């Protein structure tokens, strides 16, 4: 048997195939065409699955799908996603009907959490919080070696915890104001970088933004060259992130927090601010031996989805 993990993001959809031992056999990345309707998109996914099925000489497949949004893992439905237009999307049912294979659907951060726990850590740590840093900010919990998804699959929406209650709080893609994601998600960072560049037009950050296509990498580049605003934005990033995470740590008392997603690459600049917030905590013990690590494996969402399908199928 082969497990295929599919990680559907707002920009790309990644596919990974693994064997029963979890060895990666194939991977491919396709653009996510959000202009398609639900059934045309399902056809696209099913076609890729069928191509691989032929490559694997007609072997039986199990499918795992991770998608950025509020999903119900028991019913295999995507209910709502801020960056993807398909709501009340019965992915598991439709994909099974098209391919004939069992299909398991979860939120993408939950799939990444499972991938980190099962693949990167080889199940060494049993209590983890995984936070995915990108356009959206999500999290997944491993509690006592199990993926915790809540009563209807909605657990882990850390990006929508409030970190700013002031009148000037930034608006989030979900419609609320003051959410963590509005400050540390890609779009929030872009707003802050552009604002800083406007106020300091001769700064390194302003120059980099003017000469390059926007990416969060520019913020690290500016920080590495000593740009004060860039360092400040990273500092605030760490403070906001730690503010939400310290609440999560008080609730769940994990051994490890794992930072995943592209923006985690800037950790050198924001981790000290996180440590400052953690040090100020009154209840010290849950923070004392807490490890903050970076996810190493590329495409951990798709890999986690494949391994999750494997673990579910074996049950
Ligand atoms: Zn929000």
Q: What pLDDT does 204 receive?
A: 98
Confidence of residue 84 (pLDDT cuts 50, 70, 90): confident
Q: Which CATH class for the 2-118+299-314 domain?
A: alpha beta
Q: What pLDDT does 83 receive?
A: 77
Dig out the tokens for 308 from the structure.
Answer: 């999750």
pTM (2 decimals)? Answer: 0.92
Query: Can you give the three-state secondary structure of 190-201, one letter per residue?
Result: HHHHHHHHHHCC
Average pLDDT for residues 188-208, to the nearest whole number? 97
Hey, where are the domains in the chain?
A: 2-118+299-314, 125-294
Query: In the chain, which ranges are continuous DSSP H helix?
Result: 38-55, 91-99, 108-115, 180-184, 186-199, 204-211, 217-224, 228-252, 267-279, 285-288, 300-314
Q: What pLDDT does 162 receive?
A: 96
Confidence of residue 41 (pLDDT cuts 50, 70, 90): very high
Q: pLDDT tens-digit profile of 99-155?
A: 999 999 999 999 999 999 999 999 999 999 999 998 889 999 999 999 999 999 889
Residue indicated by tokens 């998109």: 41
Q: What pLDDT does 58 receive?
A: 84
Q: Matching CATH topology for 2-118+299-314 and 125-294?
A: yes
Please state, for a pLDDT cut of 70, what percent of the chain lies above it. 100
Distance 144 CA to ligand 1 centre (A): 28
Distance 162 CA to ligand 1 centre (A): 8
- The alpha carbons of the chain give a radius of gyration, in whole angstroms, of 20
Q: pLDDT tens-digit profile of 64-81?
A: 999 988 999 999 999 988
Give whichever of 10-14, 148-152, 305-309 has the largest mean pLDDT: 305-309
**CB atoms < 10 A from the CB of 84, how many?**
19
Average pLDDT, the chain: 95
Confidence of residue 9 (pLDDT cuts 50, 70, 90): confident
Q: Are 216 and 223 a contacting pair, CB within 8 Å? A: no
How far apart CA 122 and CA 125 sit, in angstroms, is 8
How far apart CA 15 and CA 13 sit, in angstroms, is 7
Distance 179 CA to ligand 1 centre (A): 5
How far apart CA 186 and CA 197 sit, in angstroms, is 16
Confidence of residue 44 (pLDDT cuts 50, 70, 90): very high
Distance 182 CA to ligand 1 centre (A): 7
The DSSP call for residue 170 is P
Q: pLDDT tens-digit profile of 15-25?
A: 999 999 999 99
Q: pLDDT tens-digit profile of 211-264?
A: 999 999 999 999 999 999 999 999 999 999 999 999 999 999 999 999 998 899
Query: In 34-184, which ranges are continuous DSSP H helix?
Result: 38-55, 91-99, 108-115, 180-184
Nearest Cα to Cα of residue 67 among 110, 37, 101: 110
Distance 201 CA to ligand 1 centre (A): 31
Q: Mention every residue, 6+ apart, whose C-beta is less than 8 A from residue 102.
A: 62, 63, 96, 309, 312, 313
Nearest Cα to Cα of residue 206 among 181, 228, 175: 228
Q: Check whether 173 has a pLDDT greater than 90.
A: no
Instruction: Report the chain's terminal Cα–Cα distance, integer Å.
Output: 14
Distance 225 CA to ligand 1 centre (A): 32
Task: Say which CATH topology domain 125-294 has.
Answer: Nucleotidyltransferase; domain 5 (3.30.420)
How far apart CA 89 and CA 39 sit, in angstroms, is 10
């Amino acid at each position: 048997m082969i497990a295929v993990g599919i990680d559907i993001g707002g920009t790309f959809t990644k596919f990974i195939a693994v064997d029963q031992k979890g060895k990666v056999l194939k991977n491919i990345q396709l653009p996510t065409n959000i202009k398609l309707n639900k059934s045309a998109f399902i056809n696209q996914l099913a076609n890729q699955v069928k191509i691989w099925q032929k490559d694997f000489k007609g072997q039986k497949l199990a499918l795992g799908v991770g998608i950025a949004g509020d999903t119900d893992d028991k019913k295999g439905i995507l209910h709502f996603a801020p960056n993807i237009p398909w709501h009340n999307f019965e992915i598991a049912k439709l994909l099974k009907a098209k391919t004939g294979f069992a299909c398991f659907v979860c939120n993408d951060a939950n799939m990444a959490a499972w991938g980190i726990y099962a693949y990167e850590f080889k199940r060494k740590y049993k209590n983890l919080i995984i936070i995915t840093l990108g356009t959206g900010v999500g999290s997944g919990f491993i509690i006592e070696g199990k993926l915790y998804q809540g009563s209807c699959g909605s657990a882990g929406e850390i990006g929508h915890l409030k970190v700013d209650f002031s009148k000037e709080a930034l608006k989030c893609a979900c419609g609320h104001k003051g959410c963590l994601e509005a400050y540390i998600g890609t779009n929030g960072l872009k707003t802050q970088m552009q604002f800083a560049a406007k106020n300091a037009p001769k700064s390194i950050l302003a120059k980099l933004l003017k000469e390059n296509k926007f990416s969060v990498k520019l913020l690290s580049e500016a920080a590495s060259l000593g740009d004060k605003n860039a360092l400040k934005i990273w500092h605030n990033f760490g403070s906001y992130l730690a503010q939400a995470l310290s609440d999560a740590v008080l609730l769940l008392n994990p051994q490890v927090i794992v930072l995943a997603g592209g923006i985690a690459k800037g950790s050198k600049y924001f981790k000290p601010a996180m440590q400052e917030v953690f040090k100020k905590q009154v209840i010290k013990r849950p923070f004392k031996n807490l490890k903050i690590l970076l996810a190493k494996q590329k495409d951990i969402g798709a890999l986690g989805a494949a391994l999750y399908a494997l673990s579910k199928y074996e049950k």
